[in-house]
């Protein structure tokens, strides 16, 4: 079913959120297991939905101690932009760099990755469409937002385990692919139905 944006009345106040945070985090961790795909050992994707975005909003409000309603609305608008539109999947892509002293150097090796990501479902080749402004000529963010425009048959193909489905990165410095696990396929198909 189409992903519904987060609304102001779903947001929990900071004190209440603190009380329920550990159980919310446990639930979101389980949810993300069904929405995360590692492509090689340096890149992972988390496909976003209403609950993952709601959690990100709550965590940002908590971290920044945001209680002003106008600022809360701004955060909701910013994070709702991560949600997929109709016939679309969206994901946060993480470039996983563990050696802090080499972050800049490693990120530079990934320059141009925004032209090298695709989702393959059967014979469909869905090119990743990246959020503009997250890569500059000499700088790249370790967190990228990517969308995949999906033809109407994508959900049905994802539901058929005999149809191959994988994420592919073909970058000169990083060539990897990963099959989508069954639980990820099921989650994504539901997002598209």
How many structural domains is the chain composed of?
Answer: 1
Which pLDDT score, from 0 to 100, does residue 99 have? 84
* 138 pLDDT above the threshold of 90: no
Which pLDDT score, from 0 to 100, does residue 36 have? 98
**Banded model confidence at residue 165, pLDDT cuts 50, 70, 90:** very high
Question: Which of 102, 97, 155, 160 has its CA nearest to residue 126?
Answer: 155
Residue 2 lies in a domain: no
pTM to 2 decimal places: 0.92
Q: Rounded mean pLDDT of the chain? A: 94
Residue 26 lies in a domain: yes
**Banded model confidence at residue 137, pLDDT cuts 50, 70, 90:** low
Beta bridge partners of 119: 126, 167
Residue 3 lies in a domain: no
Rounded Cα–Cα distance for residues 182 and 172 (Å): 29
* 176 pLDDT above the threshold of 90: yes
Rounded Cα–Cα distance for residues 90 and 36 (Å): 12
Mean pLDDT of 173-184: 97
- With a CB cutoff of 8 Å and minimum separation 6, the contacts of 57 are 6, 11, 75, 76, 79
Residue 33 lies in a domain: yes
Helix residue ranges per DSSP H, the chain: 14-33, 50-64, 69-80, 103-109, 154-159, 182-192
Instruction: For residue range 50-100, list pLDDT tens digits in order.
Output: 999 999 999 999 999 999 999 999 999 999 999 999 999 999 999 998 887
Q: What share of the chain is helix, strand, coil (3-state, %, to 5)?
A: 40, 25, 30
Q: How many residues does the chain have?
A: 193
Q: Which two tokens stand for residue 142?
A: 């370790």
Q: Is 4 helix (H, G, I), strand (E, B) or coil?
A: coil
Rounded Cα–Cα distance for residues 123 and 61 (Å): 42
Residue 1 lies in a domain: no
Which pLDDT score, from 0 to 100, does residue 139 have? 72
Which pLDDT score, from 0 to 100, does residue 133 have? 66
Which pLDDT score, from 0 to 100, does residue 54 have? 98
Residue 147 lies in a domain: yes
pLDDT cut 70: percent of the chain above it: 96
pLDDT cut 90: percent of the chain above it: 85
| DSSP annotation string for 61-75 | HHHHT---HHHHHHH
* 134 pLDDT above the threshold of 70: no
Helix axes 69-80, 50-64, angle to 10 degrees: 140
Structural domain that includes position 17? 8-192
């Amino acid at each position: 079913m189409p992903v519904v944006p987060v609304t102001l009345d779903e947001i929990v106040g900071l004190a209440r959120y603190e009380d329920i945070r550990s159980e919310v985090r446990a639930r979101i961790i389980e949810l993300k297991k069904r929405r995360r795909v590692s492509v090689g050992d340096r890149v992972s994707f988390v496909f976003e939905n209403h609950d993952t975005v709601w959690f990100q909003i709550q965590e940002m409000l908590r971290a920044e101690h945001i209680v002003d309603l106008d600022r809360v609305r701004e955060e909701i608008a910013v994070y709702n932009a991560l949600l997929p539109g109709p016939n679309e999947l969206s994901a946060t892509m993480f470039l996983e760099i563990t050696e802090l002293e080499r972050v800049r150097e490693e990120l530079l090796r990934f320059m141009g990755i925004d032209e090298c990501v695709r989702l393959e479902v059967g014979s469909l080749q869905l090119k990743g469409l990246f959020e503009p402004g997250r890569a500059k000529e000499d700088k790249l963010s370790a967190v990228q937002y990517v969308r995949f425009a999906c033809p109407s048959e994508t959900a049905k193909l994802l539901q058929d385990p005999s149809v191959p489905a994988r994420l592919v990165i073909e970058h000169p410095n990083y060539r990897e692919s990963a099959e989508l696990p069954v639980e990820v396929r099921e989650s994504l198909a539901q997002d598209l139905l």
